[in-house]
Amino acid sequence: MAGHIPQDFIDGLLTRVDVVDIINTRVPLKKKGREYTACCPFHNEKTPSFTVSTSKQFYYCFGCGAHGSAISFLMEYDHMDFVEAIEALASQLGLEVPREGGAQTPKKIISKDLYTLMQDASEYYQLQLKGSKTAKQYLEDRGLSDEISTRFMLGYALAGWDHVLKYLGHSYTPTQMIDTGLVIEKDKGGGYDRYRDRIMFPIRNRKGQVIGFGGRVMGDEKPKYINSPETELFHKGSELYGFYEARDATRKLERIIVVEGYMDVIALAQYGISYAVATLGTATTQEHIQLLFRSVPEIIFCFDGDRAGKEAAWRALNNALSMVVDGKEIRFLFLPDGEDPDSLVRDIGKESFEDSYTKDALALTDYLLNHLQQEFNISSKEGKSRFLNALGDLVKKMPDSLVRDQLLTEVANKTNISITSIKKRVLKNNGSIRKIFNPIKDQEVRRTPIRYAITLLLHDPSLVQFVENPEQIAVSNLSGADLLTTLIETIEERPHINGASLLERWRNTDLEASLIHLMKWQPNTDGNEVLVREFQDCLRQIRKKANEKKLETLIHKAQIGELTTREKQEFLILTREFL
């Protein structure tokens, strides 16, 4: 397993690249005052609301909220994941991306030949499809057009034991073909083709490289599907069929529908619903959800309405609970009995499918409560108790969030039990993470000395040189003091860090939203002298408020007991200061 990319490398990378250059090669920017603007590439607009700051190395859209560093932009615009974006930026600078813990966790180097082998196999299967009347007729009977078959690179594996083995054997070794899962090794040596007389569905990773296959029979033989085994290239718990095609088809994905089969993905895409993916013979994993949430704010799980579909949905819910966060949405869609996405979209078309079904999908919390209420009778005391016990086991998996709070409020209303009692019962022994800075909602930022000091540091980290006693800020117990102190310490350790690098350090944490709001809050001037004066004024106000709070504490302590000699001295000094 590869080690983590060192944070110092990411910091250095973001100080060497220019976010303006990165964006301008993809979205033409216009200079406007101290910043650059454009129409947002992530939503349709006529008036530019997309702003890029050179000083902070940060972009923000006031229309749709898209934001971030050069890394974030490549992830959103070029559909890269976090590591891919870092590697792309490093490549532009001619740098190799290091990994921490290299000796303990050496990176597994995958030969490019294996990727080439899989691409050659895919092209071979596609060529066989063109020459097979039976396979082409099967796809035609299933209602698939030549265009959609080409887009998803569908192919056909001949009925025989060694067609692929012989064809690829001219360029690759039997070991390579076994390692990729194309060939099964015999006990006594040699091998034979894994896929025989099957329609072939190439599985591509996020870069579009073929990493595995799914093979489907054209009759009633069992098993209906055979998927690639776990290999160096293919890990079914972290890959999704159709994900590359979905990102390739739509620049800005708003949602992803997770369906159960390859044919469902392809049929939906043929009818214009190009944002469907399927798991690969496994239940939806947390890694799948993390992957999707990096690309879209909304996931819809779509299941058949039969017993198997409902059981699969409940497994998906259990795996999704720990991934619930504010600003992201998970919903559940159940189709009528006897229907699957493939058959339904052909009957009613894209518009009706989206209007009649997708829009009415159940929110995760609604599905959870509906499921439990069908299992337990909350009109009786015993049923209510069992209901709360089952709910507690599930809710404890959820992070502290507004979604969880709303769920518990609804439970209180349904059971006529106070919200305090519900939380005590359901959340017992469920530790929460202490927030060092209260999240700021979408309204205008309320200006306080600490918030403005943070904003100024994000704008110009060099201002940290004017902080004389960060320890006094740390012990002040003022709201946000911990975050300000952490920023100061980070900048002092890395004097050349910029605002975008600081933001990257809190990616996907509770603090990210707060920092983004402060990042987009622009100081009134870029003049260095004015910025210094405003920052020093913030520090004076922070010191004054901290001393006021300390004096209040000493007064209270004096009223209820004796002050120590040191506390008496502090009391006299602070009293003189505020007289």
Give the bridge partners for 333, in sequence order: 302
Average of per-residue pLDDT across 215-242: 89
The residue assigned the tokens 């979205």 is: 27
Question: Domain tally for the chain?
Answer: 4
Residue 406 and residue 365 in contact, taking contact as beta carbons nearer than 8 Å = yes
Which has more confidence, 294 or 185?
185
Which CATH number does the domain housing residue 51 bear? 3.90.580.10
What is the spatial distance between Cα 497 and Cα 491, in angstroms, rounded to a whole number?
6
C-alpha distances in Å from residue 510, one per residue of 329, 506, 513: 16, 8, 7
Residue 525 has pLDDT above 50, yes or no: yes
Residue 87 sits in the same domain as residue 122: no
Of 188, 212, 234, the position where a domain reaches its end is 234
Please, which pLDDT band fits residue 332 given cuts at 50, 70 and 90? very high
| 317 part of a folded domain | no
Which has more confidence, 572 or 29?
29
H or E element in which residue 334 lies: strand 329-334
Residue 465 sits in the same domain as residue 513: yes
Residue 322 and residue 398 in contact, taking contact as beta carbons nearer than 8 Å = yes
Residue 107 has pLDDT above 50, yes or no: no
Task: List pLDDT tens digits, range 153-167.
Answer: 999 999 989 999 999
Residue 129 sits in the same domain as residue 200: yes
Alpha helical stretches, state H, 295-401: 307-320, 341-356, 364-375, 381-395
Residue 390 sits in the same domain as residue 496: no
Task: List pLDDT tens digits, range 68-80.
Answer: 899 989 988 887 8
| 516 part of a folded domain | yes
pLDDT for the residue 135: 95
Count CA within 13 A, CB hemisphere, residue 510. Answer: 13
3-state helix, strand, coil in the chain (%, to 5): 50, 10, 40
Residue 475 sits in the same domain as residue 564: yes
Residue 76 and residue 42 in contact, taking contact as beta carbons nearer than 8 Å = yes
pLDDT for the residue 176: 92
Average of per-residue pLDDT across 460-468: 87
Residue 418 sits in the same domain as residue 453: no
Average of per-residue pLDDT across 158-185: 92
Residue 21 sits in the same domain as residue 61: yes
Which CATH number does the domain housing residue 386 bear? 1.20.50
Residues 6+ apart with CB under 8 A from 33: none
Share of the chain above pLDDT 90, in %: 29
Please, which pLDDT band fits residue 459 given cuts at 50, 70 and 90? confident
Residue 195 has pLDDT above 80, yes or no: yes
Q: Kindly report which listed range (86-95, 144-153, 273-282, 443-452) carries the lowest average pLDDT score.
A: 443-452
Residue 289 and residue 328 in contact, taking contact as beta carbons nearer than 8 Å = no
Give ∠ CA 93-99-104 in degrees, rounded to 5.
160
What is the spatial distance between Cα 255 and Cα 293, in angstroms, rounded to a whole number?
9
Average of per-residue pLDDT across 521-540: 77
What is the spatial distance between Cα 174 and Cα 165, in angstroms, rounded to a whole number?
7
Residue 413 tokens read as 């209303």
Please, which pLDDT band fits residue 526 given cuts at 50, 70 and 90? low
pLDDT for the residue 432: 37
The residue assigned the tokens 């900048």 is: 491
Please, which pLDDT band fits residue 103 given cuts at 50, 70 and 90? very low
Of 57, 92, 127, the position where a domain reaches its end is 92
What is the spatial distance between Cα 218 and Cα 154, in angstroms, rounded to a whole number?
14
Of 92, 123, 156, the position where a domain reaches its end is 92
| 248 part of a folded domain | no
Residues 6+ apart with CB under 8 A from 47: 39
| 283 part of a folded domain | no
pLDDT for the residue 354: 87
Task: List pLDDT tens digits, range 347-386.
Answer: 999 888 888 788 888 999 999 999 999 988 888 888 888 9
Residue 224 tokens read as 């209906």
Domain containing 508 equals 449-578
Q: Kindly report which listed range (24-28, 60-64, 134-138) carries the lowest average pLDDT score.
A: 60-64
Residue 418 sits in the same domain as residue 467: no
pLDDT for the residue 523: 66
Residue 555 sits in the same domain as residue 458: yes
Which CATH number does the domain housing residue 168 bear? 3.90.980.10
pLDDT for the residue 190: 83
Average of per-residue pLDDT across 203-214: 91
Beta strands in 158-236 (DSSP E): 183-185, 191-193, 198-204, 210-216, 225-227
Please, which pLDDT band fits residue 446 given cuts at 50, 70 and 90? low
H or E element in which residue 112 lies: helix 112-130
pLDDT for the residue 402: 87
Residue 57 sits in the same domain as residue 140: no
